[in-house]
Every structure is written in structure tokens, then in C-alpha cells.
Amino acid sequence: MKSSSAIVFGGASGLGEAAARELVSAGHTVTIGDLNEEKGAALAEEIGVDFIRADVTDEDSVKAAIEAAATTEGGLRICVNCAGVGAAGRIASAKHGAAPLAGYEWAININLMGTINVLRLAAESMIGNEPDERGERGVCINTASIAAYDGQIGQTAYAASKGGVVGLTLPAARDLSRDAIRVMTIAPGLFDTPLLALLPEEARKALGEGVPYPNRLGQPEEFGALAVHIVENQMLNGEVIRLDGALRMAPK
């Protein structure tokens, strides 16, 4: 795909930041959408892109961000959604009883409903595009997690929310196939993001050593590189790609 307009939700840090950087390097015009205005604005200034405050769970907020990104010639053609949250806690225990339902609602609302919200509104915008030189109108890339497949003890809320993202990928791609819009999902494993940076170095090293090969944590730029490749490779559609170095997580 030639130089196109792209938006990255959750683009102020971590995997989203890496996706934004790699898309810029590939020649695309990028808008960063994120709740963190300080980090988002600073990154946007650094890499020469636009920033807009966006909450993936809010329809008006996402619409405004997509409309801003779609003002460039050719309309919005690339949407990457990396916005998400972690959630931990056993579903029930003898000591604490059933886990609060609010925790599940929170994780599913952001990780799954937020993804659906972004996907449907980005697709709506892309449907109005003229087909490009390949006959394509756009590509949407979602972010799941390998926890969707082998979630660990205490990850029921997180795994459920990401499992929903995995499950919607193929039917969404089928829905949008007549409009020449592709839908893909990346399911990352253990990546060296700001979340893991909070752990002691010894703990981070141990996590990386659990990855079969390469025997380390993933680098955010590897996620970004895959996002760019998905944009460029038209045959990638309706699939979830595990980006995990062959890691299969143990129960704990």
C-alpha cells in the first residue's frame, strides 16, 4: 500500500507507540489517538504526526479521532488498535469468594467493546474510500494476546476480553470483504513494554528466558514491523498472528 493515512489507538506508548513509529518510517501519515495527552502529544511532536485525545470506549471520541485522521487525501486507510488494559484476579476463591463482576466489565469494556467500537467506526470511514491501486479500501489491525489461547491463573477477565478479539477477527473480515477492507489481529506474547519495565530486572530476565526462541522478551519494534507488513501484504486477512517466539504459557 502506498503512503496512506493511518490512525493508531493506544499509540502514546508501548506497542502502539512502536506501531506509530514504524508506520511513519514506512511513509504513512499517522494520527495518534490516546487517553494520555502528555505522552501522546510529546510523541507526536517527536515523530512529526498529529495527536488527538481518544477513548476507545466512547463512540463520539473515536468518531472524532477517525474523522481527524480521514481528512487527508484518500481518506483513512490504516487503523491499528493497541488500546487495552491488564486485569488480574481469580474468578473465585475460598478466601475471597467470587471475583467482583465490575472487574470483568471493566476489562471487557475496554479490551473487547473498545476494539469493536474502533473497528466498526474505522470500517465505516473506509467504506467511503475509493479503491486504491490494488482495489483495496483499508486495513484494520486489532491487538489480542496469547492469553486468549493459554491464559494463566488469575487471567480469566483478561483472557476472556482478548479471546473475544480473536473470535471476531474472521467474521469481521468476512463482513467487510465485499468492501475490500481487511481485518487482522496480532496476539503478542511477552514484550518489553512499560508495563514489564515496572518489574525488577531479574524478573524481566526470567520471563524472557521462558520464551523458546528467541530466548528473550519481544521488542515493541517487532510488533510495529509486523503491523507494517500486514498493511503491505494483501493476502493477510481474517487471521490472528501469534507473535510470541513459540511461547505457550504455563498455568502460572
Active site residues: 158
- Whether residue 115 contacts residue 62, with contact meaning beta carbons closer than 8 Å, is answered with no
Q: Are strands 92-93 and 97-98 parallel, antiparallel or unpaired?
A: antiparallel
Q: Angle 37-47/14-25 helices, nearest 10 degrees? A: 20
What sign does the dihedral 46-201-219-189 (CA atoms) show? Answer: negative
For residue 32, the surrounding DSSP H or E stretch is strand 29-34
Residue 206: count other Cβ atoms within 10 Å of its Cβ: 11
CA–CA dist 65, 168 (Å, integer)? 23
What is the total residue count of the chain? 252
